[in-house]
């Protein structure tokens, strides 16, 4: 079984651990977090290093996943992804066995698809995204890089969501709507018109 390093040990990390364990493709060797947390653990997995140690870890381990959350701003997830990529890590796509990803869909590296999410035919998801539990991405939807589609969101057919956007829990996006880069769509929003930021 391939070994993987998790980068970020907060709440989202706990959910990601559960997905990784259920997928059963990777063995988690440890977590990277703040220096003062090294030596503690998250759900029994040790925090083994800090961000500046990524280069050393990449010499030993091939795979990593950014497991910090993303509420509103993607800046931290993007910074950690860039650091780990420059260090030499590869980023798998992690998919819960309880999710459905159509064989006609595409999902970018470093993205996690969580429990009961659905990615339908001809949908496209970018790099380092979170497709959270029970999110629905319908046919022909396009999700950019560094986006978080939060729990129980509904992204209808043909919707385009540009890079670094956040779609809040329980949101419903009308078909063919365009959402510009860096957009924040509030929890429970019913969006019927384009959003340009």
Q: pLDDT tens for residues 30-42?
A: 999 999 999 999 9
Residue 20 corresponds to which tokens in the numbers above? 């990784």
Contact assessment for residue 31 and residue 11, using Cβ atoms and an 8 Å cutoff: no
> Using DSSP, how many helices (H) and how many strands (E) does the chain show?
3, 22
Q: What is the pLDDT of residue 97?
A: 98
Is the pLDDT reported for residue 120 higher than 70? yes
Give how far the C-alpha of residue 186 lies from the chain's centroid of Cα atoms, to the nearest Å.
Answer: 18
Q: pLDDT tens for residues 73-82?
A: 899 999 999 9
Q: How many CA atoms lie within 13 A of 11 on its CB side?
A: 4
User: Above pLDDT 90, what percent of the chain?
Assistant: 97
User: Above pLDDT 70, what percent of the chain?
Assistant: 99
Mean pLDDT of the chain, nearest integer: 97
Fold entry, domain 2-87? Rossmann fold (3.40.50)
Whole-Å CA distances, 165 to 50, 74, 197: 27, 8, 10
Over range 79-86, report the average pLDDT. Answer: 97
Q: CA-CA distance, 119 to 195, in Å (whole number)?
A: 22
Is the pLDDT reported for residue 72 higher than 90? no
Is the pLDDT reported for residue 197 higher than 80? no
Is the pLDDT reported for residue 54 higher than 70? yes
Residue 103 exposed, middle or buried by CB count within 10 Å (0-12, 13-18, 19+): exposed
Over range 46-72, report the average pLDDT. Answer: 95
Structural domain boundaries in the chain: 2-87, 94-197
Which of the following CATH numbers is that of domain 94-197: 3.40.50.1970, 2.160.10.10, 2.40.30.10, 3.10.20.90? 2.160.10.10
């Amino acid at each position: 079984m391939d070994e993987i390093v998790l980068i970020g040990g907060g709440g989202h990390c706990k959910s990601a651990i559960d997905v990784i364990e259920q997928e059963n493709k990777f063995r988690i060797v440890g977590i990277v977090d703040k220096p003062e947390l090294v030596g503690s653990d998250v759900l029994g997995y040790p925090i083994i290093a800090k961000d500046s140690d990524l280069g050393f870890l990449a010499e030993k381990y091939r795979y990593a996943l950014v497991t910090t959350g993303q509420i509103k701003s993607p800046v931290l997830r993007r910074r950690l992804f860039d650091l780990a990529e420059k260090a030499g890590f590869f980023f798998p796509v992690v998919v819960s066995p309880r999710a459905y990803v159509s064989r006609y869909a595409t999902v970018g590296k470093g993205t996690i698809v969580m429990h009961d999410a659905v990615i339908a035919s001809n949908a496209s998801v970018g790099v380092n995204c979170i497709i959270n539990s029970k999110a629905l991405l319908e046919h022909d939807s396009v999700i950019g890089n560094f986006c978080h589609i939060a729990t129980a969101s509904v992204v209808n057919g043909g919707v385009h969501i540009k890079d670094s956007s956040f779609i809040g829990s329980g949101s419903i996006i009308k078909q063919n709507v365009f959402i510009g880069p860096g957009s924040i769509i509030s929890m429970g929003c019913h969006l019927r018109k384009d959003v340009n930021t």
